[in-house]
Every structure is written in C-alpha cells, then in structure tokens.
Structure 1
Amino acid sequence: MKPVLYLCLFLVGLQVQALPNPNHSNKHKKERPHSIGHHGHVEGENLAHMKIAPSNAEFAFRFYKQVAKEGGNKNIFFSPLSLSTAFAMLSLGARSNTLSQLHKCLTFNLTEMEEQEIHEGFQHLLQLLNDPYREIQLSMGNTLFIDERLKLQQKFLDDVKNFYHSEAVSMDFQNSEHAKKEINNYIKEKTHGKFVDLLKSLDKDAVMILTNYIYFKGYWENPFKSYNTRDDDFFVDAEHSVKVQMMYKQKYYNIHRDEKLSCWVVEIPYKGNATAFFILPDEGSMSQVEDALLQDTVSNWSLSFKLRRINLYLPKFSISGSYDVKELFLKMGVTDMFSNNADFSGVAEDTLLKVSRAIHKAKLNVNENGTEAAAVTMVEIVPLSAMLNPLEIKFNRPFVIMVFDKSTNTIIFMGKVVNPTAIED
C-alpha cells in the first residue's frame, strides 16, 4: 500500500466592490432578475448552465445555514460559486463513495442530469461570466499547482482544462518556500491585490494545490451621493449599537414585504447583468428568515417585487469571511475525501490522494465611493399609487445580502451583516 499523499484546496471568493457608475445610463431599467430556480421566461432555458443553476442555489443556501449554525452571531460572507466550481472540478477525478458524497453535498442529482451535463454546465457558466464585453467587471478561474513528482491522469488533465478552463502549473514542492511564494503571487495577481500571503504554509506531503478565484466589481445603476452620507447608529442587537456611515437615496426600487417571514426585500441593481438583494428582517426575525432561505423563497421574492419610491438607508461596510471548508463539509456529510478512504484514482497515476486542507476566504466592500462623474436626466413614470409618501426602509440592524449574476441565474456571493464595523480575518 503506497502512502497517501495530499491535495489542498484554496478557494478565494474575492471582493465585491459596489461602486457608483461613472457612465450611468439615463434609461431606467425595470428588468427583474431571473428568479432562482424559475427559468420559464429565460431564453435558451435548456442551455447547460441553466441545468446546474438550481443545484448551485440549493448548495449556497445549505452552506450558508451550516456556517450560520457554527458561527453564532457573526458576519458571514462567502462565494458559493467559488466553492461549487472548485469541488465540481475536483469531482472529475473522484470515484465511488468519494464521488457520490461530493455530488450529494453539491446537490447534484444524477437521476435528473448526467455527470457530463454538470461539467458542461460549469464550462458554459465560466465562458459567460468571463466575457470581457460585460458591463460588470468579473473574472473567475481555476489553477492546479502540481508537484513535478506527481503524474496526472491525462483524461483528468484534459477535462479540467476543457470544462473548467484550468491552468496546470508544475513546480517543485520540495522547495516549499519557493512554491508557496509562487502560489501566493498568483492569487495576489488574480485578486487585484485583495489577498496577500493566503497560503501560510505548505504541507510537506502536499503534491497538488487546487485554487479557484473570483473577482467582481459592480457599479450601482443609480449611485448614492456621498454628500447624503451621515453618521448613524446600527443596532447589532437589542442592547448594543455601533456608529456607521449611513448612505441615503430616495428612488424607485423593486421591493417586497414578506409578511409571513416578517422581512423587507430590496433589489439594488448594478449596471450590467448583476443585481443584489438586501433582506432586512424585523427585529427578532433573523432566524426564521435564515431558515426559509430556499430557492422557492427567493424566487417568490423576485416574482413579487413592486416598483415603489422609498427612502433607502444603507450603511457603508466592509466585511470578510474565512472558513475551514473541511470542517464544514465533514458536518455536511463529505467524509471520505478527507480520510484514507478517499478515492481520487481518476486524478493521478499510481498515487493515492486525499484532501488535507480546504479553506475559503471572501471579502465584501459596499460604498458610494465619491460622486457621479456625469450629469444625468431621468424621467420616471409610475402608477399613481406609487406617488404616495415614500416608505422608509433603513438597514440599521442585521441583514442578509445576495449578489446575483442575472445572465446565468447564479448566486455569486452571499452573506449576513451583523456588525458593519467588525474587523475580521
């Protein structure tokens, strides 16, 4: 029996930066985001990436709930897309129970779609997200750093390049300091300097490191004005508050009041094919909102939006998340790939592999970042009922955020803001 060698995964679900758009269009768009899990009105609904969208959404909500259960009353921020992509790519080389556990965790049901369709879905998704002509700045990619001693199965190498557009970089892992530096420099470059020295150490037995990165910068379709930003209180809980810089805008937004869950949902669109949902539970209702985070819930919110003028208050904030994915996945039923029962026989020739570490880091920055660079004239015509006094929705207590790519029906980032001023690693 050969000794088991190690595979590490570093998943970087990078920075979302919500900025004002300097080239803001004067056309008011009323287009709604594609509802999660509801594809009836989407052109080309049988396209490969649409087949995996419901599974990716379901995984996002499952992972969020696991993090929320473990994390207590803390900020949450992660990229479900980064996690799904990296582990789907790894599943190309998994076999037997290791593969079935991965599929179950990622919520891929092989009675509804073939394994080939999963990978074709990610292939198409990556092509669409990395389109350089999109109005939002979004880049996503995968890289395999491989010890020169490890001989990969040619099919695995071909498949990760074909389906996941993955680079494969051979290096000497015996020179661990040099290898660590090269990997960290790669991640720093791909994340525009947002993550420096992500890899703190390299396991002496490591033979492959899989990295996934995603970077997104979005411009608000209707920017906030910095001169309207004021100091205000944000109530972390019923007894404690912190001072924040509260942005303000009076405008027509798609909003929905969910009486059953006691929460407000506000859609704040980015210029281009991306949008964000901000979910504000009533005081004491966060748990029931989190429990109800499912595809059907979010789809119903999307389909129930009404355009209404509101006084919107939203804090400027920067939060981050750092997660031991191994510990979380073990609790979600993925056990074999971290143990000596791991079967990654599709990855390498004559070498037994298991995953030793899997970490995920993500950052979010939301602000108005200065003033608009162009003058805009906009005329909005709405039903008379919307001309009543504006409703006030103030995000001055914990809330949930989801960032969607509308063209692919994908949740790119997801999180919870409990304390906008908390400094976390």
Structure 2
Amino acid sequence: MNNRMGVMIAIIFTILHVTTAHKIIERSIENENTPAARIIANSVNSFSADFNGVVFQDKPKENLICSSLSVAMVLMMAAYGADGKTLEVMNKVLHVNNDENVQKNSIQSFISQFNAMKNVQLHLANKIYVKSGLEIKPEFKMITKTTFQSEIENLNFSNSAVACEEINNWCEKQTNSRIKNLFQPNNFDDDTSLVLVNAVYFKGNWARKFDVNETKLMSFYHADNTTKNVPMMHSVGKYRYADFPELGARIIELPYESTDTSNAVSMIIILPKYINGLQTVEKNLHKVNFTHFLMGDQYEVDLFLPKFKIESKIDLKVPLSTLGMEEIFGNNANFTRITSQPPLKVSKIIQKAFIEVNEEGSEAAAVTGLQISTFSMPIRSEFRIDHPFYYYILKQHVDDEDDTGIILFQGRCVDIE
C-alpha cells in the first residue's frame, strides 16, 4: 500500500476574454523597511481571511479543501495586466497597496523562498497560455516571467482537444500526478484568449509518526449526532495545544518533518468543544491570533486523529464578486496592460484541491518557545478528533524582527469518506 501523508494539491485556473479601458490608479509606498517576502504574505493572509469567510459560508455542511494562496497568486498575476477601475478593485480585494515595484520584489522573493523549502515537498508554479496570434505586451511578459516565474506559451484554442490535453499535462506534472484531466475540451473555444494557471503542491511527513499498528476503527460523530466507524490513528507525544474560549474550541499543532525550524510547516487542527459547534468556530476565526500559540511550549498529548481524504472543486466567480471583484467579469473590465488587441474579461475562475492524511511520518526535533494559553495543562491530556473540525496547513517563517506565517491550505472535515 502506498501511504501518502498530508499530500495537498491546489490548482486554480483563469480564462479571460473580451473588454475596454480606464485610468491608472496611484499607489503609495508603504512599509519600506518590511522584509520583502513578508509584504506579500501579509497581503495574502488578509485576502485569505475575507475569502475563507465567503467560501465556507457558501458550503456550510460539506467537506472542503481550498487554497486562498493559490487564488491570490493567479489574481495578482492577472492584476499586472489590469488598469483603471479594474486594477483598483483587484488591489483592494487582494489587500495590495504598496508601490508596484515593491510588490513585484516581494512576490519574487516570496516564490523563491517558497520553493526552497527543505524536508517537505512544497512547490508553487505559474503558467500562462495565450491564444495563437494574440500579441501580448512586452512589459506583461517580463513581469510574469521575472516576478511570477511564469512562462507564456501559445496555444490554438480553436483545437480545443489539443489545448485541453496540453494544459492538463502541465497540471498533472506540477501536482505529482494527483490532479488529472482537470479540464474538458468544451472548456475552450475560439473566444478563449488566455488561461492563467497556478498550482500549489505540498507533501510532508509527520515530525512525530503514527504507528500504523495503532490505527483502529473508532466512532466519528456527525453534527446530527449520527456516528460512523472510521480508521483512527493514535500517537502519544509532545504537541502544542491550547484552549481558545473565544472560539469554543481546542487547538493542536501537528508539525511536519523539518530541519529548518525558522521555516516550518504544520497542520493546525481546530476542534469545537461541541459536536455541532463547527459553524460557530468558523464565524469567529477572524477574532483569534495564533502567533503566541505557535511559539509556545509543548505538552504530552494522547492524540487520536482520523485518516481522511477530501477533494473539492469550487467555482469562484460568485465568492469573488461578493468580495467586490465583480468588475473583472463584466464587459467594462480593463486588462489593456496585457494586450491592446481584443478587450478582455475573466470568464471563469475555478479551483480544484485535494488533501490526504494518514500515518506516514518520521522523527524530528521539536520546536520550543513561550506558551500563552488560557488554562493549565495536565501531565497528559487526551485530544480525540472524533467530530467535525477545521484545519490549516501553515508555513511559518521566523526572523529577527517578527514571525510570519502564511496559510497554504485550509478546510473543514465534517465526514470521513
């Protein structure tokens, strides 16, 4: 059996065609002394908070996995081709308010650091497919190549079957064959001008392994009080965990294997105190700052975690319009910094993501720090994840001035399939 642990894949694609023109907005230079990669991390995290609130409310009773980071990356790439009001609304929703050159340097630094992670497989890639014969402006070509490390490739979208196969092959390659046949030939036609693709792939081993022989069938409780027997993994060891009364939940951090404690990756699981308490947790997530928790001490925990696998496909047109980005989908959209040829608009934006969690892992050194929690920890506490829960995959970065984390993926598990 090929066990894959914590494998997470997100793919988002954007198809753009048809539009008009406006004026360039002025952007002020802020945070000149802020480390480059942190500027974009702050923008992405602010966007994530807004994005998650909309997407998760739209599907309140479903298993869900998504990557707001992937959404932000492809939209930021498209925004460098936008102008006038279109650029203004995109920057507002994406929380981008720095000088354009500062922002470009930040994105470039962020992607380079992101793809240089050790011990875990963490990969972010961008690609742009352009309709054959469409003339792309040199500046947009340069920005996408140097800032986003994205190549531009010409495709004949009139031959939809060939175009579909080409893009699907790229997606499969970037995600270690986890996402196949994402598109169908009828997704493309003569009106398709560009397809912007972003892929985020993650695979990591637990720093503290689960023994496969300890996995037993145990009850998992649903919000309606029905139960199901599911494979429950078991581990006894030291983990960071705490009680957060403002969420009505307990939180535990499960670190992935890493030799670089300043660039660690962890899964954060938020378990409501009550079986039907997940919606309350999700509504109040914006009130909580996990920084001190992630720098805290570890405690002996008797941990029970279900094996689970979730795949989601989300049409993002309505969520992004709700956030204020409806401009990009209308006939007044302005993407004239991409091309001066036919006017363009975004016709479709979809994300498909996948997560699988099981026992695979290996030993690694623990991270220690100052713990700030709301109650005293016993010598050993049981943490049994046996009802609907929320989770993050979080990349942390600690420097001399501050600590920064960025959410790679987030989701909820309401049922074990």
TM-score, normalised via structure 1 length? 0.82
Task: Measure how far apart 1:45 and its partner are.
Answer: 7.8
Quote the Cα distance in structure 2 between the aligned partners of 1:205 and 1:386. 62
Secondary structure of the 1:353 match is coil
Kept in 2, the 8 Å contact 1:317–1:366? The answer is yes
1:404 alignment partner in structure 2: 394
Distance change >3 Å, CA 140–CA 83, structure 1 → 2: same
What amino acid maps onto 2:406 in structure 1? Answer: T
Kept in 2, the 8 Å contact 1:17–1:216? The answer is no
Q: Which structure 2 residue ranges, 5 or more long, are not aligned?
A: 8-31, 259-263, 398-403
What amino acid maps onto 1:228 in structure 2? Answer: E
Q: Which structure 1 residue ranges, 5 or more long, are not aligned?
A: 1-15, 20-43
Secondary structure of the 1:255 match is strand
Distance change >3 Å, CA 244–CA 137, structure 1 → 2: same
Kept in 2, the 8 Å contact 1:278–1:401? The answer is yes
Equivalent of 1:184, from 148, 162, 168? 168
Equivalent of 1:281, from 237, 253, 272? 272
Q: Would you say 1:414 and 2:402 are equivalent positions? A: no
1:114 alignment partner in structure 2: 99
Kept in 2, the 8 Å contact 1:278–1:399? The answer is yes
Distance change >3 Å, CA 144–CA 84, structure 1 → 2: same
Task: Measure how far apart 1:54 and its partner are.
Answer: 2.2
Q: Would you say 1:74 and 2:62 are equivalent positions? A: yes
Q: Would you say 1:325 and 2:316 are equivalent positions? A: yes
Kept in 2, the 8 Å contact 1:59–1:105? The answer is yes
Equivalent of 1:96, from 66, 81, 84? 84
Superposition CA RMSD, Å? 2.5
Task: Measure how far apart 1:282 and its partner are.
Answer: 1.2
Kept in 1, the 8 Å contact 2:46–2:95? The answer is yes
Quote the Cα distance in structure 1 between the aligned partners of 2:60 and 2:74. 26
Secondary structure of the 1:194 match is coil
Counterparts of 1:160-309 in structure 2, within 5 Å, are: 160-200=144-184, 201-272=187-258, 273-283=264-274, 284-294=276-286, 296-302=288-294, 305-309=296-300
Task: Measure how far apart 1:204 and its partner are.
Answer: 3.1
TM-score, normalised via structure 2 length? 0.83
Range 239-248 or range 309-318, more displaced: 239-248
Quote the Cα distance in structure 1 between the aligned partners of 2:147 and 2:126. 11
Task: Measure how far apart 1:345 and its partner are.
Answer: 0.4
Quote the Cα distance in structure 2 between the aligned partners of 1:301 and 1:294. 15
What amino acid maps onto 2:230 in structure 1? Answer: V
What amino acid maps onto 1:399 in structure 2? Answer: F
**Deviation digits for residues 139-165 of structure 1 (CA, Å, limit 9, x no counterpart):** 111000111121001100100111100
Quote the Cα distance in structure 2 between the aligned partners of 1:116 and 1:363. 34
Quote the Cα distance in structure 1 between the aligned partners of 2:151 and 2:100. 22
Distance change >3 Å, CA 237–CA 358, structure 1 → 2: same
Secondary structure of the 1:90 match is helix
1:155 alignment partner in structure 2: 139
Task: Measure how far apart 1:349 and its partner are.
Answer: 2.3
What amino acid maps onto 1:92 in structure 2? Answer: Y
Counterparts of 1:316-355 in structure 2, within 5 Å, are: 316-355=307-346
Count of residue correspondences: 370
Quote the Cα distance in structure 2 between the aligned partners of 1:263 and 1:393. 12
Distance change >3 Å, CA 311–CA 339, structure 1 → 2: same
Counterparts of 1:10-21 in structure 2, within 5 Å, are: 17-18=5-6
Kept in 1, the 8 Å contact 2:40–2:110? The answer is no
Secondary structure of the 2:6 match is strand
1:362 alignment partner in structure 2: 353
What amino acid maps onto 2:38 in structure 1? Answer: M
1:393 alignment partner in structure 2: 383
Q: Matched residues, percent identical? A: 26
1:145 alignment partner in structure 2: 129
Quote the Cα distance in structure 1 between the aligned partners of 2:215 and 2:395. 28
What amino acid maps onto 2:235 in structure 1? Answer: K
